[in-house]
Amino acid sequence: MNTRIEDFDYFLPPDLVAQYPAEPRDASRLMVVSRKTGELSHATFRQLPQWLDDHDLLVVNDTQVFPARLKGIRDTGGRVELLLHHLPVPEDNGAISRKARASAGYRARRRLRPGQTLTFGPDLTAVVLALPGPGTVEVRFFSQTGNVCQKILEAGQAPLPPYIRRDPETSDRSRYQTIFARQPGAIACPTAGLHFTAQVLAELREKGVETVSITLHVGPGTFTPVRVSDYTQHRLAPEYFILAPEMADRLNRGRALGKRLVAVGTTTVRVLEFCLRQEGFAAQEGWCDLYIYPGYRFRAVDRLLTNFHLPRSTLLLLVSAFAGRDLILRAYKEAVEQKYRFYSYGDCMLIL
């Protein structure tokens, strides 16, 4: 089988990259893709209940994005920007933590150096501890007057992806967040969930569609570019996940009743496939590094709701593994022709 990442490319006019979300959320467009017939049909997201019924079990990711982007000044006077890879970890045991450690990606005109001090506010500084790889840094944050973790969250901005070419706005703190968000820890939003509203969920409940939650804290692994031509040689950095006992039981009951598992987003797919054993779903938490690409045999997921993804990305590989490369690239070509909006704040597709 050909495993060239170059075969998962497509042309996208820059003006189709969504810079703001649809208002309201469920006004986004929905392409419905049939794996059985190859048919492509068009709707709006608020029509989603037309394609689901009481034979479906909706599975969502309830991770919550935290304000992981920090802009500051280095001790030489130059600007620096950090994208934290995880929630900061307190390093002291007091009631109010004054020190916390974190790993991050960084952007600066010149390379950082161990020992440098970075300033992010009147009472929030960080010292560079190490540079473990290109563009990455280990830092220790300090605050003299308050809880350092709280200071970091107050100083941070919504970690919008780089293809959204504007500064984060106040509204992004809530809009770059799904209505399912309960567990803080992600540095990117599981964007397939952005389209849901209370009204759509109510209509699904009326049709007998239950909802189950898993947690996967989206980290840099999800959006790290594939830099090798043979995509099977790419390695996916692990991300922390939780499948609670109650949720595992509900998944197992649903499967026993013959229900179809409808995964909302690629992160949900990876947790479901990672946690399914021969005897069923096993409650667990830990690190998921499951990398899904064409040739993978799906055992858990029956249907997939997902946004439109970047060319040559691990996300596009996963979707192509689920529906087939040719069908997905044909759907993307039609989405471009129909002027769908792409990426995080864009439209979505339901693959049946």
- What would the pLDDT profile of 15-36 be if each residue is shown by its tens digit? 999 999 999 999 999 999 999 9
pLDDT at residue number 97: 87
> For residue 276, what are the β-bridge partners?
281
Confidence at 147, pLDDT banded by 50, 70, 90: very high
What are the pLDDT digits (tens) for 74-91?
Answer: 999 999 999 999 999 999
Residue 92 confidence (pLDDT): 84
Mutual angle of helices 314-323 and 325-337, in 10-degree steps? 110
For residue 1, name the pLDDT band (cuts at 50, 70, 90): confident
Reported in sequence order, the residue ranges of the chain that DSSP labels E, i.e. its strands, are 29-33, 40-44, 56-61, 63-65, 69-74, 79-84, 89-90, 99-108, 117-121, 124-133, 136-142, 183-186, 210-216, 239-243, 260-264, 276-277, 280-281, 284-288, 303-307, 348-351
**pLDDT surpasses 90 at 246:** yes
Residue 72: pLDDT over 80:
yes
**pLDDT value at position 96?**
80
Q: Looking at residues 154-162, what average pLDDT do you find?
A: 96
- For the cut 90, the answer to whether the pLDDT of residue 50 exceeds it is yes
At 222 the pLDDT is: 84
Please give the radius of gyration of the chain, using alpha carbons only, rounded to the nearest integer.
21
Closest Cα to residue 213, out of 268, 279, 176? 268
Mean pLDDT of the chain: 97
Task: Indicate yes or no: pTM above 0.85.
Answer: yes
- Mean pLDDT score, 220-227: 88
Q: How confident is the model at residue 221 (pLDDT cuts 50, 70, 90)?
A: confident
Distance CA 192, CA 176 (A): 11
Cα–Cα nearest to 306, from 255, 260, 254, 343? 343
168 burial level (CB within 10 Å; 0-12, 13-18, 19+)? middle
pLDDT digits (tens, 9 = 90+) for 188-198: 999 999 999 99
Please say if the pLDDT value at position 94 is more than 80. Answer: no
In this model, does residue 352 exceed pLDDT 90? Answer: yes
Q: Which domains does the chain have, with CATH numbers?
A: 5-65+172-351 (3.40.1780.10), 69-155 (2.40.10)
The two beta strands, 303-307 and 260-264, are parallel
